[in-house]
């Protein structure tokens, strides 16, 4: 007991200073998450809720829209993560041999789009994909090819959104990969040169393994961002045409704030959380070898 009193007298001001942040964390993070977990097992509308067990989850299992939204989200996330990791690493490799000042210039240039609202970027892409006077159809028409309904054709609308995402090299990945490459000891490359290793061999056996911590981090955050895609789809297509671009987060939004079925929306959110957690676990399992945190 004396040890506890002594500990409190020693550290009470530390807890006093972190108390406001912890209170806000519990009010705006912990409590809503716990409430969403409880709502997932209830039938909830504007008048209140009643306990129905796993019915929300069984109803989702029989919903074609739910499964199609999951499929759209998976397709988007997989292609975007692969493209972003690859493009970030390639761009960082290209600017690495440059001087520090030039590297800083390129890092800033690639990071600049990150501070621009995704709403503005989506509006720009709507103009690019516009069927009559959009930039892409202008290029296609100049080549003598028929115009394409990029966002109006259900067969290619989702791929158009994927294209609009992968063509933007993520600045965060470029900055982090560039910093990680700059921290690789030059002794390793000099030793490889003595052994007669080629540039490809040095890339595979030295650079890639030492970039694994950065790759793990970027893969996890890009996967989470990919599964949480909402604004771009909401602005560019609204989930259409005929639900061909509806994603799981947009379905959660529609279920909660259009249908006012908060219980089912909470169940969808819990399933999304479980999927993201499972993917993150697998990524840590296969990419965290020899990585210490």
Integer CA distances (angstroms), 157 to 75, 110, 149, in order: 12, 27, 8
Mean confidence (pLDDT) of the chain: 88
pLDDT digits (tens, 9 = 90+) for 103-149: 888 888 888 888 888 889 999 999 999 998 889 999 998 888 898 99
pLDDT of residue 289: 61
Question: Can you tell me whether residue 42 is helix, strand or coil?
Answer: strand
Highest mean pLDDT among 44-48, 95-99, 276-280, 288-292: 276-280
Angle at 235 between CA 231 and CA 237, to 5 degrees: 115
pLDDT of residue 192: 80
| pTM score | 0.88
Mean pLDDT of 23-31: 92
Q: Does 290 score more than 70 pLDDT?
A: no
Percentage of residues in the chain having pLDDT higher than 90: 48
Per DSSP, what are the bridge partners of residue 50? 43
Distance CA 249, CA 232 (A): 11
Higher pLDDT, 77 or 93: 77
List Cβ neighbours of 48 (8 Å cut-off, separation of 6 or more).
none
Distance CA 249, CA 247 (A): 6
Q: Does 293 score more than 50 pLDDT?
A: no
Distance CA 68, CA 71 (A): 5
Give yes or no for a contact between 264 and 56, defined as CB atoms under 8 angstroms apart: yes
Q: Does 253 score more than 90 pLDDT?
A: yes
Question: Can you tell me whether residue 49 is helix, strand or coil?
Answer: strand
Record: fold of 55-287: MetI-like fold (1.10.3720)
Cβ count near 16 (within 10 Å): 9
Q: Specify the DSSP class assigned to residue 44.
A: E
């Amino acid at each position: 007991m004396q040890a506890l009193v002594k500990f409190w007298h020693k550290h009470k001001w530390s807890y006093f200073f972190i108390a406001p942040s912890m209170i806000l964390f519990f009010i705006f993070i912990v409590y809503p998450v716990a409430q969403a977990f409880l709502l997932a097992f209830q039938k909830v509308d504007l008048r209140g809720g009643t306990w129905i067990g796993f019915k929300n989850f069984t109803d989702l299992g029989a919903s074609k829209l739910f499964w199609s939204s999951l499929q759209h989200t998976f397709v988007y996330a997989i292609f975007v993560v692969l493209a972003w990791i690859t493009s970030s690493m390639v761009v960082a490799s290209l600017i690495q041999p440059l001087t520090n000042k030039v590297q800083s210039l390129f890092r800033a240039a690639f990071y600049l789009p990150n501070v621009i609202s995704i709403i503005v970027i989506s509006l720009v892409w709507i103009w690019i994909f516009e069927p009559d006077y959009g930039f892409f159809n202008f290029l296609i028409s100049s080549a003598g090819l028929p115009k394409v309904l990029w966002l109006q054709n259900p067969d290619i609308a989702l791929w158009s959104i994927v294209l609009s995402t992968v063509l933007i090299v993520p600045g965060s990945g470029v900055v982090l990969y560039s910093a990680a490459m700059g921290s690789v000891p030059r002794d390793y490359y000099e030793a490889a040169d003595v052994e007669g290793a080629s540039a490809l061999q040095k890339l595979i056996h030295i650079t890639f393994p030492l970039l694994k911590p950065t790759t793990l981090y970027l893969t996890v955050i890009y996967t989470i961002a990919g599964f949480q895609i909402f604004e771009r789809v909401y602005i560019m297509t609204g989930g259409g045409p005929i639900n061909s671009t509806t994603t799981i987060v947009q379905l959660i939004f529609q279920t909660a704030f259009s249908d006012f079925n908060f219980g089912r929306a909470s169940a969808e959110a819990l399933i999304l959380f479980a999927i993201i957690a499972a993917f993150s676990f697998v990524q840590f399992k296969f990419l965290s070898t020899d990585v210490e945190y």
